[in-house]
Structure 1
């Protein structure tokens, strides 16, 4: 922030709740917020169909050491298993980052 800038005014100008910006600022000053890196992070992925109420869960056929990725999302869980190539995981990360914008 520039010297002399009001945190409340800056928050209003950017459509951010004043208290939220004050908290972020305090966390940053305490060293609790790390700088964001743009480097992709490799994640294990597993895809599985969600079982509805009253439906039995499908048996698991993957071994415990098989690579997989599980993303818990508000609308369900995404699991990807099998051959997890760097390209597949990078595409997944790009898609997830794009959906948060």
Structure 2
């Protein structure tokens, strides 16, 4: 129900109009015509201009389509040639032994040492001498 603030009277709103999608599209397309005024198009069709603006947005977003979705034809072709086989890339992990003798300290590292850890160990050894 709506209330008129000046008179305090209330009146019941009528039912909402249900417009078919084809009508909405026709109104929107008329509003996009060169020199067309949304207000005039709305007046000509006895609807509110704000409703036309809403329909225009839906139309531009692709949401004001036909009643039924259109299906597009699809064709799947066989690949021109089979994909090349993927080969595993083998990386060589350096192996070996690193021995550091510093005075009475002997440090032996086997395999692949982490650079940051090795740097810290060498810094500590250098600080003790």
In the superposition, the TM-score normalised over structure 1's length comes to 0.34
Which entry has the higher C-alpha Rg, 1 or 2? 2
In the superposition, the TM-score normalised over structure 2's length comes to 0.27
Higher relative contact order (CA 8 A, sep 6+): 1
